Amino acid sequence: MLQFKLVLLGDSSVGKSSIVHRFVKDSFDEFRESTIGAAFLSQSIKLDEDDTVIKFEIWDTAGQERYKSLAPMYYRNANAALVVYDITASDSLSKAQSWVEELKNKVADDKLVICLVGNKLDLCQEDSGKRSVEISDAKQYADEQGLLFFEVSAKTGEKVNDVFKSIGESLYSYKKEELLSKSEQNGTNTHGQVDLQLQKPATSDPTSCCT
Amino acid sequence: MPISSFSSEELSYEKVSLEETSGEVLLKERVIDYALNKSNIPLISQLGRSQHGFVNNLTRRKAWSSLLESQLQLSSSKTCEVADSKTINNNDYNDDSDDDNDNVVHEDENQVQLDVKRSFVSVRDVHVRDLLRQVLERVIISVLRKYPQLRYYQGFHDVVSVFVLVYLGDEILASGTDENLILKYDEEISLKKSVEIFTLLYLRDFMMDSLEFPIDQLNIILKIIKKKDIKFYNKLSLGQIEPFFAISSILTIFSHELSPIMDNTYNETLFGIFDLIISTQSMNVPLLIYSNILLGVKDQLLENFEMDIIHFDNKVDLVHAIIQKVILQSIDNDRMWKETMINTRKMNYDKSLISLNKSMLNKYSVLITTASGDAYYNHCYTEKEVMEILRKEIQLNEKRNIEKAQLKMKKSTNSPELGLINKTSMTLAVSLLIGAFAVIISLQRDNSYSTLFKNTGDSLNNIYEYYTVKLVNRSTYVWKQPLESILTYLKSNTTS
């Protein structure tokens, strides 16, 4: 089993917790209470390739601006970030973009997998007039920045699992590369080995984050 | 999972039979009524501090109002009013004309609406839930508009929803006719007043423009644990961990975790926490409760710590995750709560907390001033005093924010690349010097040397001076200025 740390970021009320609950508990509440600080959940998936099991350690953060100063504590050491916006609220895309920028500036790991996710697809399927972020615009931005990109509905569950699967696949391919280069170095064949630690070691410096 | 680490204190609870408890509660209710009739504030606060708190919501709201109004004297002309007060039958409060803020939208109202929309999620009855949400929104907006200098935080709505349930929960449940609505709005006026006082005296630290002061409060939890159980503290490396895991419990006074549901036993615990806070005028209570919970579930935490240590190679995440997991598992454990409350009642009188707070918090913090637990007998603040404390605390917070931003700037200019220059500044300076001479020599070939040499003489002297004076002081910029002058000169010389 491979374990990865994933953090959710995005504006208030875009549906971060709803996406996580759809993924972890396959449930949806029309009104999910606000997240204060951050919530921790975990969920495993099986990839088609090699039957690899991937466990996500998920940190779901609060969306209000004032909690932003806590975010580094959650994205530090993260292997993946899910940056969420609401496709019916154009402001939320620019918020998502500023999160992407912050991640790129602050997270040293160039193998951090960032996935841009537009939520509330169901609302636009009911009434196309509700859409205020065009899929092509968001997709173009994601391509430019080298992000994974999905439009999902936490309510219907559409594409939610695909998001995590695709993140898992990216992480797994990085992991395999790392393994290969390691095995070349050591001259041993590690094919098939999955007992790995991908996370970076904990920093013992308490001021390294959020100060 | 049984809680094994509790002391024998809880046994006294186990012995009390159900009938005895209900008899005790009935008797207590009558004593509270008596104290309320006599406006005996010391007695009311004594009763709120003991087991069962204020017993039920009818006595509870009267007791909260009496206590809170005895702690802060709001000037009558400034009684908290809502902008849309047309529907309120408010003969007693008709002097709202001098309050201009009521109609000015607060900058955080958008966030309030987002959170109110998602409040009372556990209330199933749609009509009741809508009524509760309407009241919740009115109360929050009225406080924010009256005090625009306060910032709204996600979680404030959870705290206010506790007040809404205590003051209006029963009425809203029973509502259905218009006659009931008038009664309800009378209660709404005292509800607003109580929330207003509670906000100013108890929640002020959380409503600054940053999370600095709330985080200071969270650090007290770690200090309490260190003092109570150093082995446990060390085992979880709490000295190296920022206590963000406690942020929602403290900022919402457990109302997020114990999310209030009508007709649910959780409410008694949650309301009891508020009874204790208001009766002791002490915001130490949530911090003590949190510390006591952690100490109470110590065995499970240590067990999970050992179990999960292989999954996380990052202790910060590990501790954060297991604390959140274990607390969630124990949140509906009645026995844990009873024991926690017993311990908290005892510790709340601990005078050493006062000096701990003073060493850890800003001097205008609620824990040092208006909700320190140190002045619960008849201490009444005037509105003017509290406004002054609030003004100074906001000032201090701004100062802190600026300092923090400066520190951040300093850190980012002190990036690893620059650090390298710092260490090797001597080598770099020398190589740049050689480079500069190479330029001079190349210019010599262009026959411009003779003029140049004469003029660069000053710059070279400059370099020498800088080296002897500044290099000794290991300045990073030692080579910059003189070289700049050479390069500028060369540039102007070669272009001309």
State the angle between helix axes of B298-308 and B315-330 in degrees (0 to 180), rounded to the nearest 10: 140
Does residue A77 belong to the interface with chain B, where contact is any CB pair within 8 Å?
yes
Nearest to A202 among B252, B311, B315 (CB): B315
Structure-token pair, residue A30: 């029309």
Given a cut of 90, is residue B174 above it in pLDDT?
Answer: no
Widest distance between CA atoms in chain A: 59
Which residue type, as a one-letter code, is found at position A203? Answer: T
Within a 13 Å sphere around the CA of B351, how many CA atoms are in the beta-carbon half?
Answer: 0
Q: Each residue of A90-147: pLDDT tens digit?
A: 999 999 999 999 999 999 888 899 999 999 999 999 999 999 999 999 999 999 999 9
CB A119 within 8 A of CB A154: yes
**Band of the pLDDT at B361, cuts 50, 70, 90?**
very high
* Residue B240 sits at the chain A interface (C-beta within 8 Å): yes
Task: Tell me which residue has tokens 């975790």.
Answer: B257
Q: Which residues of B touch A210 (CB under 8 A)?
A: 242
Would an 8 Å CB–CB cutoff place B213 in contact with chain A?
no
* CA distance to partner chain B, nearest, from residue A201 (Å): 6
Chain A / chain B CB contacts < 8 angstroms? 95
Q: State how far residue B249 is from chain A, nearest Cα, in angstroms.
A: 9
Q: Which one is predicted more confidently, B296 or A186?
A: B296
Calculate ∠ Cα A62-A64-A70, nearest 5°: 55
Where are the alpha helices (H) located in B348-446, listed in sequence order?
A: 352-360, 383-413, 416-423, 425-445
Q: Does B124 contact chain A (CB < 8 Å)?
A: no
d(CA B221, CA A100): 34
Average pLDDT, chain B: 79
- Return the HEC string of B447-462: CCHHHHHHHHHHHHHH
What number of other Cβ atoms are within 10 A of residue A72's Cβ? 15
Does B252 sit within 8 Å of A73, measured CB to CB? no
What residues of chain B lie within 8 A of the CB of A57, using their CB?
Answer: 311-312, 317, 321
Q: What is the ipTM of this complex?
A: 0.86
CA distance A32 to chain B (A): 6
Q: What is the DSSP code string of B173-228?
A: HH--SHHHHHHHHHHHHHHHHHHHHHIIIIIGGGGSSSSHHHHHHHHHHHHHHHHH
Which of B233-242, B351-360, B460-469 has the lowest average pLDDT? B460-469
pLDDT tens digit sequence for B122-144: 888 888 889 899 999 999 999 99
Q: Which DSSP category does B152 fall into?
A: P
What is the spatial distance between Cα B214 and Cα B248, in angstroms, rounded to a whole number? Answer: 11
Confidence class for position A161, pLDDT limits 50, 70, 90: very high
pLDDT category of residue B255 using cuts at 50, 70 and 90: very high
Q: In 3D, which of A87, A90, A78, A88 has the Cα closest to residue A114?
A: A78
Give me Rg for the CA atoms of chain B. 31
The per-residue pLDDT for range B394-451, each reduced to its tens digit, is 999 999 999 998 988 887 766 544 334 444 455 555 566 666 666 555 555 555 544 4
List all residues 6 or more positions away from B445 whose beta carbon is below 8 Å from its beta carbon. none
Q: What is the pLDDT of residue B261?
A: 67
Residue B29: C-alpha distances to residues B23, B32, B53, B145 (Å): 10, 5, 10, 36
CATH 2.40.37.10 fits A2-185, yes or no: no
B437: CB partners within 8 A, 6+ apart? none
**Are A211 and B325 a contacting pair at CB < 8 A?**
no
B414 lies within 8 A of chain A by CB: no
How far is Cα A25 from Cα B492, in angstroms, rounded to an integer?
71
Q: Using the beta-carbon criterion (under 8 Å), do A12 and B241 form an inter-chain contact? A: no
* B217: nearest Cα among B330, B338, B353, B119: B353
Q: Does A37 touch chain B (CB under 8 A)?
A: yes
Exposed e or buried b for every residue in B208-220, given b needs 16+ CB within 10 A? Answer: bebbbbbbbbbeb
pLDDT tens by residue, B9-48: 443 444 445 566 788 889 999 999 999 999 999 999 999 9
Any B CB within 8 A of A206 CB: yes
d(CA A58, CA A41): 5
Place of tokens 């556990």: B122
State how far the Cα of B198 lies from the Cα of B372, in Å rounded to an integer: 13
* A16 backbone φψ class: left, alpha, beta (φ>0; ψ -120 to 50): alpha
CA–CA separation, B225 vs B246, rounded Å?
13
- Full-model pTM: 0.80
pLDDT of residue B265: 57
Chain-chain contact of A12 with B154 (C-beta, under 8 angstroms): yes
Alpha carbon distance B347, B228 (integer Å): 11
Ranges of each domain in chain A:
2-185
Where do the structural domains in chain B lie, given as residue ranges?
A: 3-88, 100-199, 217-379, 413-496
- How confident is residue A199, by pLDDT bands cut at 50, 70 and 90? very low
The pLDDT confidence band at residue B97, using thresholds 50, 70 and 90, is very low
